[in-house]
Amino acid sequence: MSTKPIAIVTGANGVFGQYICQGIMKTHQLYCIVRNEEKGKQLLKFLNGADAKYLLCDLSKPSSITALAKQFEGKAVQCLINNAAITPKKKATSEETGEELQWCVNVLAYHRLTKAFLPNLKLSSSQQTNNKSRVVFVASFYAGGLNLNDPEFKKRSYSSDSAYQASKQADRMLAFAWSKQCDDILFSSCHPHVATSAVSLGLGFDLDRSKKAQLQ
């Protein structure tokens, strides 16, 4: 059994997720959250022998997030990286909740995951004298335009681009709000850089004219 601290990364098979995993796999026991078996298997091949496992979770479904968290009952989790994001070109909703899909996956899932893993994160902090557990909300410098009166585009015409920008602004705000509630956990948000990805292709940006991201 590994003695390394546990890190959980959502959207682990994406362009940024893969390199997030690469960056921490030497120091952590890594749990990569993906949507299907094939993506999980491909990711483990990419990581090439790391102390890593993949777990399945549909972040558009609160019940799936709850089931994921149950697998970690009683375990200390040092790091949760909320990285998963989607950019559907047409407005869609969660099959389980009816929430607009980008708002559901890009924002509410971050909040639900953080809440579900809070006992695990607090346990990790309590076991370490000078090393708080951490939660990262992967946002974007593209963030902006959040309308709190209509975050799910129920009153406005839907724009994937606007919905994405708003979701990333909300992620920044969530990180700040959580930091005010839990001083024993370090919360942060970040801009991961720019690359062609499933997210960028959904927004219409093929930044390096590469279709590799379509395989994510």
pLDDT 10s per residue in the chain (216 long)?
Answer: 678 999 999 999 887 788 899 889 889 999 999 999 999 999 999 898 778 999 999 999 999 999 999 999 999 999 999 999 888 889 999 999 999 999 999 999 999 999 999 999 999 999 987 789 999 999 876 667 889 999 999 999 998 889 988 999 999 999 999 999 999 999 999 876 655 556 555 555 555 555 554 444
pLDDT of residue 207: 56
pTM, whole model, 2 decimals? 0.88
pLDDT of residue 117: 98
Strands in 2-155 per DSSP E: 6-10, 29-34, 52-56, 77-82, 133-138
Are the CB atoms for 16 and 37 separated by under 8 Å?
Answer: no
What number of other Cβ atoms are within 10 A of residue 159's Cβ? 14
C-alpha distances (whole Å) from 69 to each of 33, 115, 117, 176, 207 are 11, 10, 6, 23, 36
pLDDT of residue 199: 55
Question: Nearest Cα to 53, choosing from 15, 2, 113?
Answer: 2
pLDDT of residue 32: 96
Question: Nearest Cα to 81, choosing from 20, 170, 145, 143?
Answer: 20
What number of other Cβ atoms are within 10 A of residue 108's Cβ? 24
Mean pLDDT of the chain: 87
